[in-house]
Amino acid sequence: MKFKLTCDEATAICSKNQYGEASVTDKFRMLFHVLFCAVCKLYSKQNTFMTKCMSSVDKKGVVKSKLNSEEKEEMALKIKEMV
């Protein structure tokens, strides 16, 4: 196994890492690659963001998180202030 990764290999490992499927060795190799590759660093950042966004949505496309009553009241006040 070679230590240096291509960008294609790094993005594949990044995707595996998001789902906990990347080995420790692969994670280290990807981290090393990302230190020197701005494009893969951006890809990794965007991939992490998308994973976080998608984890808050269920399979039907409905957002899982709900506002509590205090947050609802605060939002209602802000809307009234805008109008």
Q: Does some domain include residue 40? A: yes
Query: Could you tell me the residue range of the domain that residue 43 belongs to?
Result: 1-57
Q: Does some domain include residue 78? A: no
Ordered DSSP codes for 4-69: ---HHHHHHHHHHHHTT---HHHHHHHHHHHHH-HHHHHHHHHHHHHHHHHHTB-TTS-B-----H
Confidence of residue 27 (pLDDT cuts 50, 70, 90): very high
Q: Does some domain include residue 82? A: no
pLDDT of residue 79: 84
The domain total for the chain is 1
Q: Does some domain include residue 38? A: yes
Q: Does some domain include residue 4? A: yes
Query: What would the pLDDT profile of 36-56 be if each residue is shown by its tens digit?
Result: 999 999 999 998 888 887 777
Report if pTM > 0.75: no
Q: Does some domain include residue 80? A: no
pLDDT of residue 68: 80
Q: Does some domain include residue 69? A: no
